[in-house]
Structures are given as structure tokens and as C-alpha cells.
Amino acid sequence: MNPEEPEGAQPHESRLNRALRTLLHTQRVAALGTLNGQGKPFVSMVPFAIEPHSATLIVHVSLLAPHTRNLMSDPAVSLLVMQPEAPGEPVHALPRVSLDGTAARLKPESDAWQTAKRVYLARFPDAEMMTRLGDFSFFAITALEARHVAGFGSARPLEPEDLARVLRHL
């Protein structure tokens, strides 16, 4: 098995789904777009993990951060996950996926919170101490639509159920 490919990769799945699965498996940070109380966009960086059973993206954020306050007042979000650029290589065809959806704050110590903590720490074991801090919360992001660019001339919209199928195998 290719170490760049996640465990859940299916031999019969499409080339584009394999590319998307690999992108989400190998990249650990996303650009998070939120809206503040005046409707102004705000973009920040967040580490993310994937909870395959619910097909959600999990972020662990500080209540002191502007993006967290924005999430609590307006759950609409956009995430961009992309492959980093290579020096000297063209950037217009970088593989990426944009996800638009909603974020829900998980109640501390609930089953969903425990699951989020488990998948998040599996990906970011060094964040264990932060999960004990009272000013951090887990949010589950449910994608309502997505656009995947696998490379130049290879772009497609993704329906929520198609994206969920990819996420469930990560």
C-alpha cells in the first residue's frame, strides 16, 4: 500500500476520489473562512481531523480566537484544503478542495465530543494538553457542498453524499 494513500482507499474507486482521499489524508491544515457579526469574512488556519462515521471535519479551537467567536454567532463556514506549492512549479493546478458547510460546537464530555477528541488526538497527539484547557472547544463541520480541483482541467462539484462517501473511508 502507498503510504500517501489512506487505509480506506478502495481499489475500484475513481481516480478523482482517490486523489481527494489522498489530499485529505496527507494535508493536516485548512484555511477556515467564517463571518463576523457584521457579515465581514475572516480567514484563519486550523488543523483538522476527519470523523469518518459522521463524515464531519473536526476542528479544535480556542474561544479566545476571532474565528471561534464567529462560529458561535454564525455557523456558516468554508474550508480550503490544498496541497502545498513546490518551489518553481506552477501553482494554478495545485490540488485542492473547498468545502462549504455548517459548524456545530460539541458539548464537552458528550459522546460526540469524546469521538471528536479521539480522532483529533489520533492525528495530533501533541494537542492532548489543549483538550484539557477550558477555553478550547471541538466543532464538527458538516459539508453541504464542495468543489474539488485535482489539477489543471480536472475540477468537479461534489454532492454532500459523494463527499461523505470519501470521508467515511478516511
User: What is the CATH number for 51?
Assistant: 2.30.110.10
3-state secondary structure 40-108: CEEEEEEECEEECCCCEEEEEEECCCHHHHHHHHCCEEEEEEECCCCCCCCCCCCCEEEEEEEEEECCC
Q: Flag whether 1 is in a domain.
A: no
Q: Flag whether 7 is in a domain.
A: no
Return the ∠ at Cα 129 (arms to 28 and 69), rounded to 5°.
65
Q: Flag whether 132 is in a domain.
A: yes
Query: How does 78-88 read in b/e, with b if 16+ C-beta sit within 10 Å?
Result: bbebbbeeeee
CB 67 within 8 A of CB 32: yes
Q: Flag whether 2 is in a domain.
A: no
pLDDT in tens, 116-160: 999 999 999 999 999 988 889 999 999 999 999 999 889 999 999
Q: What is the pLDDT of residue 170?
A: 81
Q: Flag whether 5 is in a domain.
A: no
E strand or H helix at 21: helix 15-26
Closest to 56 in 3D by CA, of 106, 94, 1: 106
151 φ/ψ sector (left φ>0, alpha ψ -120 to 50, else beta): left
Using 50 as the pLDDT threshold, list the residues of the chain that sit under it: 1-2, 9
Supply the range of the domain harboring residue 132.
15-167
Q: Flag whether 8 is in a domain.
A: no
Contacts of 162 (CB under 8 A, 6+ apart): none
Q: What is the pLDDT of residue 134?
A: 84
Q: Flag whether 10 is in a domain.
A: no
In this structure, how many other beta carbons lie within 10 angstroms of the beta carbon of residue 41? 10
The grid cell for 11 is 481499489
Q: What is the pLDDT of residue 1?
A: 44
The grid cell for 9 is 482507499
Q: What is the pLDDT of residue 36?
A: 94
Q: Flag whether 101 is in a domain.
A: yes
Pairwise CA distance, residues 112 & 118, whole Å: 10
Q: What is the pLDDT of residue 158?
A: 94
The pTM of the whole model exceeds 0.85: yes
Count of the separate structural domains present in the chain:
1
